Amino acid sequence: MNKFIQDLPKAELHLHIEGTLEPEMMFELAQRNNIDLPYKSVSEVKEAYNFEDLQSFLDIYYQGSQVLQQEQDFYDLTWAYLQKANRQNVRHTEIFFDPQSHTDRGIEFTTVYQGIYRALQDGKTQLGISSQLILSFLRHLSAEQAFATLEQALAYRDTIVAVGLDSAEQNNPPSKFKEVFDKAQAEGFLTVAHAGEEGPPEYIWEAINLLNVSRIDHGVRSLEDPKLLDYLVDRQVPLTVCPLSNVELKVFDSMTEHNLKQLLDLGICATVNSDDPAYFGGYIAENYQAAQAALDLSKQELYQLAKNSFQASFLPSESKHRLISELDDYLETAKL
Ligand code: ADE
Ligand code: ZN
């Protein structure tokens, strides 16, 4: 089954590029940029990755991001991710970046953007992986700060497909960002938001009704609200689920408790993604594998998850059809 999963053509729709910073690269970049790390070794870093909840992860994640300083650092980070994604047959990826966690430290928006974007272009030409960029606002910061970040993004409007909302969910409801999301949509950006990861189902409703999102990131707490489930099924609003992240951040006590299979059984357009793979113990294939093993997912269900990932992407419909027929061919051959 692991080989089937590894080679399954798939899209990744929920991946924070800063969350792909492996401890080894953290040390390399710290040295390159003359930064002191609060860790002595790679194994000490890994020991620190023992999270109680979302906030305890975010503290370490933002600290790690500080080694990213130059355009080349952002390039190297993104290129390393793309090579891993390529080995797991990711055919298309939609990548979040958190500009505020860099601009707040004095790094120019352009430095961040150019490094990531250049690597994504190389991913297309050298690896055949298509990609889109999603600018994510940090919801623990103010709406005014999000507006300022949106202003900086306007120069890159043509290559940033959507805006999103991440960071500490509790007490930072989507409604806090309604105006900035309105402005982003007026400028032509699509919208997504993290909702129902730690926060209640009402935050998912707000993301839908106030932010007009095309997808919900996480959304696993939708299972607590039958009306919301009906809505998500009727409209086929996709959920970008991140199984290893949810277990590492104690959204579920263990993978066997994860509700991914229930969501699929209900007819929700659920997808599997890696969120912050360097911090949560695995990239997209490991996420599929962990969920498959714990929830006993069949090949048909794995196929459905991969199909959902293409369907839920922001690709034009011709590209979606092409990738889904590649997936169909794969399933046919895998059955032989
Ligand atoms: N930023 C990076 N990963 C995140 C997550 N899982 N939830 C909220 N914000 C994040
Ligand atoms: Zn996330």
Ligand 1 probe mutation, 81, 220, 251, 276, most atoms within 8 A of CB: 276
76-124 confidence digits (pLDDT tens)? 999 999 999 999 999 999 999 999 999 999 999 999 999 999 999 999 9
Q: What does the pLDDT look like over 235-249, one tens digit per residue?
A: 999 999 999 999 999
State the chain's mean pLDDT as an integer: 98
pTM over 0.95: yes
At residue 335, the pLDDT reads 78
- Do the Cβ atoms of 53 and 250 come closer than 8 Å? yes
Query: In 3D, which of 152, 157, 194 has the Cα closest to residue 177?
Result: 194
Query: Distance between CA 129 and CA 131 in Å, rounded?
Result: 6
Catalytic residue chosen out of the listed positions 71, 197, 198, 301: 197
237 and 269 in contact (C-beta within 8 Å)?
Answer: yes
What would the mean pLDDT of 45-68 be, rounded to a whole number?
Answer: 96
CA distance between the termini of the chain: 14
* Domains by residue range for the chain, with CATH: 2-335 (3.20.20.140)
**pLDDT value of position 336:** 66
pLDDT digits (tens, 9 = 90+) for 5-37: 999 999 999 999 999 999 999 999 999 999 999
Ligand 1-lining residues (CB < 6 angstroms): 16, 19, 54, 166-167, 194, 197, 245, 275-276
